[in-house]
Amino acid sequence: MRNNTAHTHLDDSVSAVRQMVADILLMPVERVDCHCELAQLPDWDSIVHLTLLMVIEERTGTELDIRKLKSTSSVAEVARMLDRPAATLH
């Protein structure tokens, strides 16, 4: 049961990050695959990466370490950062 709960929470995090990326890039969420490389998305650049950090903090109340976020390359990696209990440490 616990593993199922953890998996469901990660799925929720992936869905949330996909939606945030889609909102930032003004594109349909269906075009944001959880395994897609962020850098391969249209108009992705360092400003969009910083915007994602701010949107995550605003929508979830979770503060992420910008250095760790900059090292992520996919939606799934960002979601895993959100899913970790230590995500609020920076």
Q: How far is CA 43 from CA 2, 24, 80, 88, in A?
A: 39, 10, 23, 28
> What is the pTM (predicted TM-score) of this model?
0.81
CATH number at 7 reads 1.10.1200.10
Instruction: Report pLDDT digits (tens) over 46-73.
Output: 999 999 999 999 998 988 888 888 888 8
Instruction: Report pLDDT digits (tens) over 7-30.
Output: 677 889 999 999 999 999 999 999
Tell me how many domains the chain contains: 1
Displacement of CA 24 from its chain's centroid (Å): 12
